[in-house]
Amino acid sequence: MLTVGGNGSDAMTLRRTRVKRALRVERLGQTAASVCWICSLFFYGISSIGDWLQLCAASAWLLANIAASTARKAE
């Protein structure tokens, strides 16, 4: 059901907040670092258990950054 001043503006505000949070320098730096870490593992090759553990750590770091960027802030 459509209402005047309904959820449309609230959704847009929430979206802007998420984009603002995702584009912060700290978040962009951490995301770039984790992506570079993942790429370096594939570039140099995965040949040992330690490489797989590094891939898991870098992937977890990337997922944590994405989750923190998209999560709703407690108000």
More confident residue, 10 or 25: 25
Domain enclosing residue 68, as ranges: 29-75
CB atoms within 10 A of CB 37: 16
Helix H, strand E, coil C: the string for the chain is CCCCCCHHHHHHHHHHHHHHHHCCHHHHHHHHHHHHHHHHHHHHCCCCHHHHHHHHHHHHHHHHHHHHHHCCCCC
In a domain, 66, yes or no: yes
Q: How many domains does the chain have?
A: 1
- The radius of gyration of the chain's CA atoms, rounded to the nearest angstrom, is 18
Whether residue 1 is predicted with pLDDT greater than 50 in this model: the reply is: no
Give 24-57 pLDDT, tens digit per residue: 788 889 999 999 999 999 999 999 999 999 999 9
Whether residue 61 is predicted with pLDDT greater than 60 in this model: the reply is: yes
Whether residue 18 is predicted with pLDDT greater than 70 in this model: the reply is: no
Residue 22 and residue 27: Cα distance in Å, rounded?
Answer: 6
In a domain, 44, yes or no: yes
At 75 the pLDDT is 47
Mean predicted lDDT score pLDDT of the chain: 81
